[in-house]
Amino acid sequence: MELGILHIFISPAHSFAGRHGQEPADHPMIEVPAVECVAGRGLRGDRYFDHKPDYKGQVTFFAFETHEAMIEQFSLHDLEPHVYRRNIITRGVDLNSLIGREFEVQGVRFIGTEEARPCLWMNRAVADGAEAALRGRGGLRARILGDGTLRSRTVLQKAA
């Protein structure tokens, strides 16, 4: 499987979770060149690290192809991939095909648990209608099965 990593994001706290009916908090998604994956715990430094035992969303993946489709559909040419608040922005793999399957990326093992379903906040973060447009392609939630470090493509290219 050739899953390319274009961007890696972590956030120290939640901006939308648990805030229904309130204004979102202002916790940024921080792009990092690499992130430590800790089996059963999550991404070190991210808001979901040690969130709950056996949590099904220890890491989230989002397809850059979906991001490109959103730019086109909503004519938002300055839209950045961090707005979806997913951790790993990928290219080259149908993420829904990984639900219920074990897979490996850069030597780190994962199991896809479910779609990272979009919520109504996407209408605010992206544009009116974004939540509906993202249904069925909101990304992948996964558990981390093996320790290791993921690196974005930018870092890999610099090392070459």
Residue at 85 is within a domain: yes
pLDDT tens-digit profile, the chain (160 residues): 578 999 999 998 554 555 456 565 566 789 999 999 999 999 999 999 999 988 999 999 999 999 999 999 999 999 999 999 899 999 999 999 999 999 999 999 999 999 999 988 888 889 999 999 999 999 999 999 999 999 998 543 333 3
CA count, 13 A, side-chain hemisphere, 18: 4
Residues 116, 58 contacting (CB under 8 angstroms): no
DSSP-assigned beta bridge partners for residue 4: 91
Two tokens, residue 48: 């979901």
Q: Coil, helix or strand for 84? A: helix
We report the CATH number of the domain holding residue 117 as 2.40.33.20
Instruction: Print the domain residue range for 125.
Output: 4-12+27-159
Residue at 107 is within a domain: yes
pLDDT at 53: 87
> Tokens 């993921």 sit at which residue?
150
pLDDT at 121: 82
Residue at 18 is within a domain: no
Task: Count structural domains, the chain.
Answer: 1
Residue at 71 is within a domain: yes
Residues 35, 60 contacting (CB under 8 angstroms): no
Q: How far apart are CA 29 and CA 14, in angstroms?
A: 10
pLDDT at 24: 52
What amino acid is encoded at 113 in this protein? T
Sign of CA dihedral 42, 138, 30, 13: negative
pLDDT at 159: 37
pLDDT at 157: 38
Residue at 21 is within a domain: no
